[in-house]
Amino acid sequence: MNYFSSKFKLGILGGGQLGKMLLNDTRKFDIYTSVLDASNEAPCKIACNEFHIGDLMDYDAVYNFGKQVDVLTFEIENININALEDLEKEGVKVYPSSKTLRTIQNKVTQKLFYIDNGIPTADFTRFAYTNEIEDAIDNGGLKLPFVWKSAQFGYDGNGVKVVRKMEDLSGLPNVECLTESLIPFKNELAVIVVRNANGDMATYPVVEMEFHPEANQVEYVICPARIDMEVALKATEIALRVSKAYNHVGLLAVEMFQTQNDEIIVNEVAPRPHNSGHQTIEASYTSQFEQHLRAILNLPLGSTESKAAGVMVNLVGAEGHTGDVIYKNIEEIMAMPGVTPHIYGKKETRPFRKMGHVTIVSPSVDEARRIAEEVKKTIKVISE
């Protein structure tokens, strides 16, 4: 099929920053795009050929949108899956598939999938409702501390909480959830696997993630991860096993823990471009966004090799600031070597809201990490 400068139409469900960065590459290739999002202020609106407003969890909105495109992809997991299934039955190509998304969308189903496929993961207990957890602790069936996770609709630190004492349970939504053993890990790692419909596969280098202690959001993504070669090989091998088990098409970001004795266990996955791959725009021969397009259109995959070491810093709204956004000291960071800011186009900031990211590239990963810390200290996302 001719995708370039043609009548072919790519549909994207979700109009956030991931979609906006994907659109950089559709414009590079002159691929016609149509985007569906609930917000008229969505970052994608300025970069697609067609923009439609609709709720991604609404069957009719997703189904009617999907009928107008040739291939459908998504940049967020919270989508009406029944609509995707019906579109697939009627011949619309949906990548990753509704089957892949159905398994991943619910964290309990995702964990059971790992158990069924012999993929190492943290021990867990499932609950129909959060309020059942207290009884389980009282009866001795569950011990503190643990990680509480909402089964559905969690993102960016929402829907996840470390529970160290009983009081930490108060205020959590009373929903289907799971509790996970608290892993005393050395590192949080991630591997992005790409796979096209022909079954061609490639992996990006293992990245290391440093988290904000309070917000449970990634502060730095470091590529390559500063780990032993054997650990990197093990992480890559497990990521490929996960990918083969899902039989997905597109990108799959596999988040993992490196334990104290250098075992690798899978935390969770995302079937789309991911925060752990943003540095690929500047640091890799093929960005994760271009790679996702190549995969879902069944084109040859690009090189996943790095041109340089890359560190990504998330730009999130400062605490105590809500309103029209100002990027304070952005000129100062732009004067630093190897620094590229990406501003997502969200007009309003609020505490810990993801507003952009900054990539730092350097021949040395330690130098890139040093500059990243300087960037983090210098730029502030505030309101007027």
Amino acid at position 336, single letter: M
180 is in an annotated binding site: yes
107 is in an annotated binding site: yes
183 is in an annotated binding site: yes
348 is in an annotated binding site: no
81 is in an annotated binding site: no
Q: How many of the other CB atoms lie within 10 Å of CB of 299?
A: 17
210 is in an annotated binding site: no
* 2: three-class secondary structure by DSSP: coil
319 is in an annotated binding site: no
Going from the C-alpha of 298 to that of each of 34, 84, 94, 240, 293, the distances in angstroms are 19, 19, 12, 19, 8
149 is in an annotated binding site: yes
Going from the C-alpha of 86 to that of each of 9, 105, 136, the distances in angstroms are 19, 18, 40
What string of DSSP letters covers 198-241? Answer: T--EEEPPPEEEEE-TTT--EEEEEES-SS-HHHHHHHHHHHHH
Amino acid at position 320, single letter: G
Encoding tokens for residue 362?
Answer: 């350097």
Closest CA to 152 of 180, 110, 184: 110
Residue set of the binding site for ATP: 107, 149, 180-183, 188, 267-268
Tell me the binding residues: 107, 149, 180-183, 188, 267-268
